[in-house]
Amino acid sequence: MTKFDKVKFVKALKTLPFPVAHTVFLEPQTAPYLIYLDDEYDVIAADSKSVFCKTIIVLELYTKGNQTDEFENIVEIFLDDFTTFEKSKSYIKEEQVYITYYKFEL
């Protein structure tokens, strides 16, 4: 298992076979695509001082129904190389896409 810092992680994300953006795409996308968020932190403190700060990453994978399993598999193989993650799913009826959330620490 390789430990990634945020810069290496973003570079590695761009090797995946679908568009990737930080927070939002500026142009409309057709599924599959991936958005990553990195604006949550877990700060560990001792003696009233911050000792260690972990960045919480959330990946949002958007897919059409018949693509979901295939592209989830790609993301999960990618993530398994360097971290453990939490996974959840939902469906956006208005856009007719599935969204799979992956949450983990860097």
Q: What is the pLDDT of residues 6-22, one digit of tens each?
A: 788 888 899 999 999 99
pTM more than 0.85: no
Express as a percent the part of the chain with pLDDT over 90: 56
In angstroms, rounded to a whole number, what is the distance separating the alpha carbons of residues 67 and 36?
A: 19
Residue 2 pLDDT > 60: no
Provide the pLDDT confidence category of residue 5 given band limits of 50, 70 and 90: confident
In angstroms, rounded to a whole number, what is the distance separating the alpha carbons of residues 79 and 97?
A: 22
Q: Mind listing the pLDDT tens digit for each residue in 61-84?
A: 999 988 889 999 999 999 988 789
